[in-house]
Amino acid sequence: MNVAVVMGGYSDESVISLRSGQLILNHINKTKYNSFEIHILKDAWYCLLDGEKFPINKADFSFDKENTTTKFDVILNTVHGTPGEDGHLQAYWELLDIPYSGCNYYQSSLTFNKRDTLSVLSKFDIPKAKSIYISKGDAINPNQIIDELELPFFVKPNQSGSSLGVSKVDKIEDLNKALEFAFAEDNDILIESYLKGREVSVGVLKYKGETKVLGITEILSQNNFFDYEAKYLGKSEEITPAKLDLEIENKVIETAKKVYEALGMSGFSRTDFIIMNDVPHFIEINTNPGLSPQSIFPQQATFAKIEMIDLLDNEIELALKRKPIWKK
């Protein structure tokens, strides 16, 4: 079976995605699958094979080598950000009728949009921060923001990952700089109230027919919050398993499962919460979590005593079972 391990992307997260793809290539079951390293970058789509680049034919997502065309039976998608985490590639593969890992194009698009995700979860009584939604060009009243959210608060791009474009605003004089930083990533932003508490990240997936929590990791950032530098450049301590009281741990587990199922998820995910007053408050969900050796999801898999080779087998089996939406 030919498996395309797709990595890269068009955002600043591409470097993380390339590391995630390498981990998959290193751990996929080589006795069951022929794996191919596929790079999707702004300037080129290609298969990297024996150090040579073979362009991907976008008409059918295949490539040619020595007059032989290679097509794929299934795709393992580890593109963080756009176009692999926001539904674009998923919709493309749906039309080509190629099975792929993770959630479908609608769930990918939904969960990449922070505002829409919060709107859906509000129907399920999931605790979360207060928020204000603003588009580029809107009139902004700093005093109104303070009245509604109080200081400090967070300014975030509506559609972005890895904390890119996120700022914590401690004094109103910093607002304009935070807005510029966020608008550089997206034309729509969220301004959210500050939740004071312990930050945890929870790996959730469909495994052997059940919604399973791999583990809970507590994040102790050396920076002002869990930003890009803290996530990927060693500026944080990540404790797996998080040292939580049993009652709070069970609340986190049940809330993480509830979020996963309410959003119609499939495949790997990582959901972030702030535990404030013993209640887990939803921050965001990542449907293509990082899989580099430094990433949280592999740490949680180790804690759960599930080998990555088995997790990847499970992902491929789920992908092959799922029918494209247009065939249902």
Site of tokens 């040579």: 52
**pLDDT tens digits, 89-106:** 999 999 999 999 999 999
Cα 164 to chain center, whole Å?
13
User: What is the phi/psi pair of residue 149, to 5°?
Assistant: -115, -20
Which strand (E) or helix (H) includes residue 123? none
**pLDDT tens digits, 233-265:** 556 789 999 999 999 999 999 999 999 999 999
Q: Per-residue pLDDT averaged across 3-30, rounded?
A: 94
- The pLDDT of residue 61 is above 90: yes
Predicted local confidence at residue 230, as pLDDT: 47
Q: For residues 277-306, b (16+ Cβ closer than 10 Å) or e, as one string?
A: eeebbbbbbbbbbbbbeebbbbbbbeebeb
